[in-house]
Structure 1
């Protein structure tokens, strides 16, 4: 009898579901009419106040607290899908957002001035040479922020900025620089990281008492360094700065965690090879320029946005990627300094600014976020 009851219930659900699908398609047809009206009048697709009123009204039609919450969730999703459909219709009429970017054949690398943070021998230096070539016109500045300022103020054509390491994670403060300065990501390069423990000529491992390096390099080599409990670890601006400092001070009790290239450049002794915890460790560097351009072959887009600090905001806005079949590859959050316990989000996703799905997704992001900026397509 129970099996029969279950079958009867499923049969009833099938009938109800068919009605739901029919009514959904009828609703979407009306949404298309709404989009046509908005196309004709220039009215915005997203009306937060109207949606809030509508959701409150349909909630009152439900007969239990559970159903009221369920109706709220269902209609939030219905409206989200409706918006995406309307954005696609607007784009089809040539009314999608203007990204402000210009497509170019390739990103020019010849006869360009390139700035990186640190000194010769730093991983940023290696990244610059890997992307622009051994003969590139390179110069260095003390701080990461200086590289961004050099580009924005026109003294450099491009900056090289580390953003992420495969084991130590994101270079968090550099994300803030992407919004502080009006520069644009035009490329990226991945540099294999193999840390060496470097000392002055003649030094022995037993002599070491203090180790200098960038904070991430110390973290990436924590297993080896922690095994020497009497060593003091001191963070400096980058690995090559650490190597240069140790060599200049000529103190055999000091060592630096840096690359083999830095050791060769400064004439240092390799006291221990490849001390990083994970072999195959890699750092991702961004290439930033002043002009909002993207190569025809670009395949990744980076954006930053801010949204209302309330339940479901992030979930709803990410629907712009899902509905448009855009594959998100990274998301990172950062506190908004002027808004306590509120966050901005940085997202990377696959695609090109000329792709219809990408442009539709960006149209939705721009409409629904309080702040949205395209950081680059590369």
Structure 2
């Protein structure tokens, strides 16, 4: 047997001992969980964990090993907490979700607000998601849409949150935290941008093009071929079309949808290839009511973290250990705390699932702030 083989054999023996000790430790964890169930004591005790990690790391003999022991016991503590959360759920101690379950969303004669005007992609998303019984309301800004829902002047709002080419709509993430409204649905709309102008206008006549910043970003490859054109932002793609039609100037063009061109009587100068292929926008449906449909499959949450090493991993491990599939993670700066961030996560699941409740329990307990944004 070579020296390497001897070392590996000894490591195998040591690893078996580690597993045996780990399982013994987890049995003791179960006893702790049973005590906490009886006493109502919280699972997460940050002070106790800090003291424990400091004491065990001090037993190591080198700086490298001390850091290794810290990392090892951070993971052991995290695993122990997750097992305790599971045991709480198994014993019927669940988090109060305060969310009403529904067989379906009821929106007969609902007031639905969208940003922009008829012909906007938000308008198309609204028409696709809802039926013809609704009463559409249009407003100039997303903030006003959220305010109408919050104040009870609208039942639902339709808001763009993500584009497959240009990425997230960061303002919507911020608005989700500013208002106590909840995501109850989503709708994906294929984006087919068109360059449009007054009938009879040629490309040579144009020197300024209007659109929403996302629309301009999604067509940047096409627009790079016309560096002489000034690019001007407006609040909505359909508003760009409306502006060109209303002002009646042949040097102006808009980037908007085909339906906007038809609605405002504009001529499409360029359609195919204007934006990248498979360009889609995901819209969320927002309500002031905390509800979810029985077959909801996606959960959106937001949380803040203590400013310490490993906290994001520890938080995400609540999702991993419960066998849930994370779909998306985004971060947004916290204005009142420079260079600190909130995290937005989407993952698959339903609030009726014990695994989901276990994960949410762990995240809420360990986060510095937490919001359940919706199950849809």
TM-score band, normalised by the shorter chain?
A: over 0.9
Mapping of residues 182-193 of structure 1, within 5 Å: 182-193=180-191
Counterpart-to-counterpart distance in 2, 1:22 and 1:179: 46
Mapping of residues 6-155 of structure 1, within 5 Å: 6-155=4-153
> 1:252 — aligned with what?
250
Q: What secondary structure, in the 3-state scheme, does the structure 2 residue paired with 1:198 have?
A: strand
> 1:269 — aligned with what?
267
8 Å Cα contact 2:183-2:286 kept in structure 1: yes
8 Å Cα contact 1:196-1:275 kept in structure 2: no
2:164 matches 1:166: yes
Q: What secondary structure, in the 3-state scheme, does the structure 1 residue paired with 2:145 have?
A: helix
Q: CA deviation at 1:109?
A: 2.6
Q: What secondary structure, in the 3-state scheme, does the structure 1 residue paired with 2:43 have?
A: coil
Alignment root-mean-square deviation, CA: 0.9
Q: What secondary structure, in the 3-state scheme, does the structure 2 residue paired with 1:277 have?
A: coil
Q: Which of 302, 309, 312 is residue 310 of structure 2 equivalent to?
A: 312
Q: CA deviation at 1:278?
A: 1.2
Q: What secondary structure, in the 3-state scheme, does the structure 1 residue paired with 2:148 have?
A: helix
8 Å Cα contact 1:165-1:284 kept in structure 2: yes
Q: CA deviation at 1:158?
A: 0.3
Count of aligned positions = 376
Q: CA deviation at 1:125?
A: 0.3
Q: What secondary structure, in the 3-state scheme, does the structure 2 residue paired with 1:203 have?
A: coil
Q: CA deviation at 1:6?
A: 1.6
8 Å Cα contact 1:197-1:275 kept in structure 2: no
> 1:286 — aligned with what?
284
Q: CA deviation at 1:347?
A: 0.3
Q: CA deviation at 1:96?
A: 2.2
Q: CA deviation at 1:308?
A: 0.6
8 Å Cα contact 1:300-1:348 kept in structure 2: yes
Counterpart-to-counterpart distance in 1, 2:294 and 2:146: 25
Q: Any unmatched runs of 5+ in structure 2?
A: none
8 Å Cα contact 2:109-2:133 kept in structure 1: no
8 Å Cα contact 1:124-1:161 kept in structure 2: yes
Counterpart-to-counterpart distance in 2, 1:63 and 1:39: 38
Q: Which of 226, 230, 233 is residue 232 of structure 1 equivalent to?
A: 230
List 4+ stretches of structure 1 deviating above 6 A: none
> 2:174 — aligned with what?
176
Q: What secondary structure, in the 3-state scheme, does the structure 2 residue paired with 1:340 have?
A: coil
8 Å Cα contact 2:192-2:275 kept in structure 1: no
8 Å Cα contact 1:301-1:377 kept in structure 2: yes
Deviation per residue, 1:305-343 (Å, 9 max, x gap): 011112111011111001101111000000111111111
Deviation per residue, 1:107-155 (Å, 9 max, x gap): 1132211000011100000000000034532110010011111111001
Counterpart-to-counterpart distance in 2, 1:319 and 1:96: 19
8 Å Cα contact 1:194-1:275 kept in structure 2: no
Counterpart-to-counterpart distance in 1, 2:357 and 2:108: 31
Q: What secondary structure, in the 3-state scheme, does the structure 2 residue paired with 1:62 have?
A: coil
> 2:219 — aligned with what?
221
Mapping of residues 354-373 of structure 1, within 5 Å: 354-373=352-371
Q: What secondary structure, in the 3-state scheme, does the structure 1 residue paired with 2:338 have?
A: strand
Q: What secondary structure, in the 3-state scheme, does the structure 1 residue paired with 2:340 have?
A: strand
**Gap change, CA 1:36 and 1:276, over 3 Å in 2:** farther
Counterpart-to-counterpart distance in 2, 1:90 and 1:37: 11
